[in-house]
Amino acid sequence: MALGTRGKSKSAARARRHARLRKKIVGSETTPRLMVSRSAKHVFVQVIDDSKGMTLASASTMEADLRALDGDKSAKAKRVGEIVGERAKSAGIEKVVFDRGGNRFAGRVAAVAAGAREAGLEL
C-alpha cells in the first residue's frame, strides 16, 4: 500500500474529488452542467440543469451506432462529445460548465471536451 492512501479506495478518492468540485460547479438554466462519467469500457455524458434537476441532453458509448464505431475508447469518447454537443445545440444550449466528475482532465475526459467544442459548445 502506498503511503498517504490510508486504505482508501480509488473510487472513494474520486468521489471525494467530485464532491469538492461540485461545491463550485453548478449548472443553471443559462449555462447547464456537462457531466462526464466513465467506466472501464464506456463514457456517459449528460447536460444537466441543476436548478430544475433535469437532464437536457445525453449521449453514451452504449448507443447502438457508437458500439459499431471502429477505433479506440478515446475516439469513441470524442464522438460522444460531438453527439452531445449537437443535441445540446438543437436544444438551444450554447454554453456549458464542464464537470469532469472527479476524473483527471486527460484521455477520454479530455476527448469528450474536445468533441463538444468541435460541435460548437462553449466550455
Q: Is residue 66 within a helix (H) or strand (E), and if so which, with residue range? A: helix 64-67
Q: What is the pLDDT of residue 70?
A: 86
* Residue 1 banded pLDDT, cuts 50, 70, 90: very low
Q: Give the Cβ contact number of residue 112 at 10 Å.
A: 29
Q: What is the pLDDT of residue 3?
A: 56
* 34-87 confidence digits (pLDDT tens): 999 999 999 999 999 999 999 999 999 999 988 888 889 999 999 999 999 999
Residue extents of the structural domains in the chain: 27-119
Q: What is the pLDDT of residue 39?
A: 93
CATH number for the domain whose boundaries are 27-119: 3.30.420.100
**From start to end of 20-89, where are the E strands?**
33-38, 43-49, 54-60
Q: What is the pLDDT of residue 8?
A: 79
Q: What is the pLDDT of residue 68?
A: 85
This prediction's pTM: 0.86
Q: What is the pLDDT of residue 116?
A: 96
Statement: residue 4 has pLDDT above 80: no
Average pLDDT of the chain to the nearest whole number: 91
Average pLDDT over residues 7-14: 84
